[in-house]
Homo-oligomer: A and B are copies of this chain.
Amino acid sequence: MGTTKSDLFSKEQNDLAMMAKALAHPARIAILQYLVKTNACVCGDLVEELGLAQATTSQHLKELKTAGIIQGNIEGASVCYCINPKVWKQYKALFNAFFVDVDLKDKCC
């Protein structure tokens, strides 16, 4: 136990859940917002920006990279991170599709 039973659910459901998981930490939200704001492909000033230790920040960056939503390019000694626009749009589209339907019917139990 402790492991999600992914086989019970559709690929779409698992994908959406994985995307949500990538966003399910304020540090990762903050990283993405910062990257959106600066565009200019930041690197290690994220450590300062967040106030978390270097190791922790690096771990969050890795998770976002694994989720595909950001990419990193080596630039000398440092690494330049930025949003992956293609995947970003996929996230946007899928969340949008997920949240669309309910608006009409307001009656509930």
Q: Is the CB of A16 within 8 A of B4?
A: no
Complex CA gap A39/B101 in Å reads: 11
Asked if A109 is at the interface of the complex by the 8 Å CB criterion, the answer is yes
Complex CA gap A5/B29 in Å reads: 13
Q: Is the CB of A9 within 8 A of B24?
A: no
Asked if A61 is at the interface of the complex by the 8 Å CB criterion, the answer is no
Q: Is the CB of B84 within 8 A of A108?
A: yes
Asked if A89 is at the interface of the complex by the 8 Å CB criterion, the answer is yes
Given contacts A9-B30, A41-B109, A95-B95, 5 further A-B contacts (CB under 8 A): A17-B29, A20-B23, A71-B108, A73-B109, A96-B99
10 chain-A/chain-B pairs, Cβ below 8 angstroms = A4-B27, A9-B26, A13-B26, A16-B23, A16-B29, A17-B26, A20-B21, A92-B99, A92-B100, A96-B96
